[in-house]
Structure 1
Amino acid sequence: MSVNLETNMLTVSPSPHIRTEESIPKIMWNVNLAVAPAALFGIFYFGLPALITIAVSIISAVGTEYLIQKWQKKPVTINDGSACVTGLLLAMCLPPQIPFYMTAIGAFVAIAISKHTMGGLGFNIFNPAHIGRAILMASWPVAMTTWSANSLSKVDALTTATPLNILKQHGYDQLIQVFGSQSELYKALFLGTRNGSLGETSTILLLLGGLYLIYKGYIKWQVPVCMIGTVGLLTWIFGGSAGLFTGDPLFNMMAGGLFIGAFFMATDMVTVPITTKGQIIFAVGAGFITTLIRLKGGYPEGVCYSILLMNCVTPLIDRYVRPVRFGARR
């Protein structure tokens, strides 16, 4: 609401009345920038297959969005960076040597089904990149769990398995034996010299990217801290009774896709609850489900499914934690 001083006319306009210099393209391209260091490390570590996977995923995601918007006769918004983010994050969740046509199908599903059938950017219920990954996991489980060998990785000793796979199948003692010592295991997890999905290897680079987004104010620190902390706490408490000893909290916090999921997927501003309280509930729930799948489930990793399941209850969380209107009773 504003007053025109020349005519003394009162202008009433709908909320919100907050002005900001931030825009969707600016936010999305900053997210791309935050993910870029870990993606570049993946290309350096896994080589040409990683570059092909990233390129195919981004091109497929952007191309799908372009074709859909042209078909619907809507303004083409591929320059806002949102489709590029989806393609990049999907690629980061895939094995480096996955066949390129599978990557293209995953990107198509992420954009066409998870995003545009819901109404486009801002209306999707689920994180598009994780929907693409989940579809690929259900359709081609062997390809999605086949990891490429790398001469820099000590995990090659067990048929290029990931650390979580070794832990699930052979136990913690075998995991330590493969890496030589617990300190070497932590070093490999922190720096990224281990097998896994293209973008889940380097904890330090994912952490730096996440801290950049927190500094810019695009995400809240409570979400990654609560999700990662919940996994660490629960695996420390219950890991000893889960068989094969999985109760090393530091390992469980750095292993798998927890860091990329906590910083870049669980914080998706479209699918995460609005309030800080709601986001904390969301993050703790995602951490709990991740731990449950890791300790008791058939899969060694559960980050993708935990975030998608919590996406389902985001509207319910928002409903029960929304602030009370001024003057009203809860």
Structure 2
Amino acid sequence: MSAACAASWQSPTLAAWDATSLASSLKAAAARRSAAHVGPLHAVLLKLGLSASAIHATSLAHVALRAGLARYARELFDEMPRPDVVSWTSLVTGHAHQGLHRDSLALLRRMAGSGVQPNGYSLSGGLLACAGVGQSALVHGKEIHASVVKMSSRGLVDPVVENGVLGMYSRCGSMEYALRVFRAMPVRNIVAWNSMMAALLGSGQAEDALRLFVSMVSSGVGVDGFSLSIAVDACGELALLKQGMQAHAQVAGNGFEADVVVRNSLVDMYAKCGCVDSAELVFEAVSSNDAVLWTTMVSAYGKSGRAQDAVSLFDRMARMGI
């Protein structure tokens, strides 16, 4: 927030403010997640007679949500005379992204009951909320999925929404439905492949996750660090050293050796396969202060019976302030 904007809040006349400067200040406050600026900005909104403006009121509610003032945001929303689909969607998705999942779902139900038709972004927020709640929200997640299917009959659905359906079923523990959604996707982007692989690995189906990775590569879909990390983790869970080394070669070939998440997976994989020396080589290859990576290496030494090396590495962490 600029010093000029902050100073203008002190002015009793607020003469320096107009709709344009207010919009700019709302955007800056949202970026800073500034709770201190919500009240003053609300005062400016009222002073300029813009409290009935859906655009400005929605923007201020967005600032309040990002600043952790969810109740304030809902009160602002309730004061809007005619909230439109953008206002509703901002509130639904904002609550979901703030971890207020049940509130997000309640708002989505209110939205539907008010006669405002949810759009893809609204449904995406609802799916995120269902995923956050978990298995108990599966029924509501299926209802949202049905709305997505209806929407797709009128045209293509944004891949973000389809990935949201996939993630919802995965997080709610319904792998069968997640696989159905994945297989039915007309276009599977890298996010969908990664989400499905991560879901399989997380549900204890490491072999299926690894099999899906092979299909991903053979389908010509480009891999990223997340894809390779999942594949390496799957090899570690199955103690498949040969396949793990092949995955390591892909890591090197795709230039992800410096990616700390991938390196952590490689260290863990080699340790689980009983190759602590290889884990050590990966660990020492690139300097890093990442605490998770160091802890993985300490654990690898400990589990292999190299207690002195574990203690020595722990002492190095302390000396380096990690």
User: Do both share a fold (TM > 0.5)?
Assistant: no
**Highest RCO, 1 vs 2 (Cα 8 Å, sep ≥ 6):** 1
Higher helix share: 2
**TM-score between both structures, scaled by the size of structure 2:** 0.25
**TM-score between both structures, scaled by the size of structure 1:** 0.25
Look at both structures and tell me which one has the larger radius of gyration over its CA atoms: 2
